[in-house]
Structure 1
């Protein structure tokens, strides 16, 4: 069996704030269930995005929240260059810090913003990141 990435788990400080950000990004993230510190959104690619406020702290006694910088980029293929422009503008207008305005890099056309916990979200029109290539 081929090993596959099935879920990306983000430890967040405030579940409602993170849900709002990823909804602003364009994901159909469900409402949290009262009393549960987690929400899961399964994307069309089959990969799930899980937002939680307590998994690592509960099960890894050595876990600490990173104090600065970032260790990963979450790349979201959003479509055409104009969609990258619009999503970036909407997120920045909503108060999310921009790390890079829409730019033609040496690779894809891309922009970067921070989510509420400082995770860097890369918005691209890079066809290599597209998963629904059968939909023509």
Structure 2
């Protein structure tokens, strides 16, 4: 099966303003989302569009533009294209393959506190690509 785009995420500084804009654009964003730091909207195609105002919650290396140590080109990003690879092993393999071809790794594979396994890599134009898998899927495949 061919790899498909799983999520498209935008980093926002003001969740309220961002939600207002995307509601006016026509997205069906749940009421009460203004209190959240991460808001996802499942599109009809199956793709999830998300807005996140605190990416450091899931990317411990993210440096906000508001922080003094912010380095525009090195440690932050404004958008994320997520490709779901299902397992930790698949993320490790794909990350090693891409960095082996010389693509710039942004964040080596790591476990999150909410059961996901992530790695970040930049495409040739500097766009941030998130490779993701479920930690539980890896445990299931090891037991089977």
What band does the TM-score fall into relative to the shorter chain? 0.3 to 0.5
Which structure dedicates a bigger proportion of its chain to strand? 2
Q: TM-score, normalised by structure 2?
A: 0.40
TM value normalised by structure 1: 0.42
